[in-house]
A = this chain, B = another copy of it.
């Protein structure tokens, strides 16, 4: 199945939290979207693996994803191995997305950083004909664009997507991960204590802060790898 947009993220709720709005807008516009989670998120402070799998399926339905796959790397121990990047390159050749979004390579969480590098290297390798031939699968295909999304470390984005029209549905998708949203016990601040807020509160603060940068209510920041190609300047002039 040919995809238009593929998101690569370390843990099952990362895609929803960080680019759920962009995925919804793309889906609403009729594009085929997908997510590859690199791990099952089994090291998450809260919830069992089974809970997370059910939650992931529910969130995928809200997002209207055409594909959700998992690389099955160990949570908390993601490494950029040859095997992992070739497995991801194979997925890129199979589904031929036009655009890939992945976590930024500079991130406080080692899994996020490794995922960003894994995705960028796989993106490049997916376009090598010999590598595709050796693999015996589909023909070489490199997605036309690669952009980074923001995890636990800020960067100055090249563009901010106005996700106001789909904000409530993004929140709904994230709420599917109920096990992650409630404290596991009194005093639990979990892996997110860095941010002094629960996940939904933090997500809203960020969405509003980025939205303000472009004069809208809610935004998701993205950083293109290299300059964006602009074939139709009138398009972005008018938009």
Contact = CB atoms under 8 A, between A and B. Distances in A.
Contacts of A233: 5, 22, 25-26, 29, 161
17 contacts: A4-B238, A25-B232, A26-B233, A29-B234, A43-B130, A45-B128, A127-B191, A127-B193, A129-B191, A157-B227, A158-B227, A158-B228, A161-B233, A197-B212, A205-B209, A216-B229, A235-B239
B234 A31 contact: yes
A194 interface: yes
Contacts of A208: 197, 205, 209
Nearest to A157: B227
Interface in A63-94: 76-77, 79, 82, 85
Number of copies: 6
Chain A interface size range:
35 or more
Those 10 A-B pairs whose CB atoms lie nearest each other, nearest first: A29-B234, A214-B229, A209-B209, A196-B215, A159-B228, A110-B121, A45-B129, A205-B208, A43-B130, A157-B227
Contacts of A196: 211-212, 214-217
Contact of A128 (B191, B211, B229): B191
Nearest to A226: B213
Interface of A: 4-5, 22, 25-26, 28-31, 42-45, 76-77, 79, 82, 85, 98-99, 108-110, 121, 124-125, 127-131, 142, 145, 153-154, 156-162, 184, 190-191, 193-197, 202, 205-206, 208-209, 211-217, 221-222, 224-239
B124 A108 contact: yes
